[in-house]
Amino acid sequence: MRLISTFGFVSLALVGCGQSGSTGADAPEDCALETRADPWGIPMDHHGAAGMLDFQLVSATPAPPARGNNTWVIEVSSMTNNVVGAPVTGAASGMTATTYMPDHGHYGALQSVITETATAGQYQIDPVNMWMPGYWEDTIAVTVGGVTDQAVFKVCVPQ
């Protein structure tokens, strides 16, 4: 009896993760129906949750995001009283990028590598791994010079 229960649980778990809304894992997602995602466009700007930093997505390859590995360039700037200030340099070692699919409760399959570009305050994030179609929350967190802040970019991957 225990074997049957375990098998049934594993089967349901695998089927549940293979679903994206009403579509299967390999089926395209209708992003036009996804209301939680940010409107797509470059640049895409988000003030940090703590109000200390500003995060701007200045480049994305591919654009809009696609299934698999994406490359993003984020510009991080200081912020005071909701006014964006100077670009923040030297933050790569204190920066993390996390892809998360809340509907399925899992993260992207690969860890991002973050490198500072030649442009002050800009950081390349590669890969931004969104390995299946659907709604993703991509969190960029920074700790630099005693300041900690983060922003969440909400995107829908169509296929």
Domains of the chain (ranges; CATH) run 29-157 (2.60.40.1220)
Reported confidence tier of residue 26, pLDDT bands at 50, 70, 90: low
Reported confidence tier of residue 143, pLDDT bands at 50, 70, 90: very high
What integer pLDDT is reported at residue 29 of this predicted model?
79
Average pLDDT, the chain: 87
pLDDT (tens digit per residue) in 82-136:
999 999 999 999 999 999 999 999 999 999 999 999 999 999 999 999 999 999 9
Which is it for the CA torsion 139, 143, 146, 147, positive or negative?
negative
DSSP 93: G
| Higher pLDDT among residues 53 and 17, named by residue | 53
pLDDT exceeds 70 at position 45: yes
Per cent of the chain over pLDDT 70 is 82
pLDDT exceeds 90 at position 159: no
What integer pLDDT is reported at residue 27 of this predicted model?
61
Longest dimension (CA), the chain: 64
Reported confidence tier of residue 154, pLDDT bands at 50, 70, 90: very high
**70 close to 130: Cβ distance less than 8 angstroms:** yes
pLDDT exceeds 60 at position 46: yes
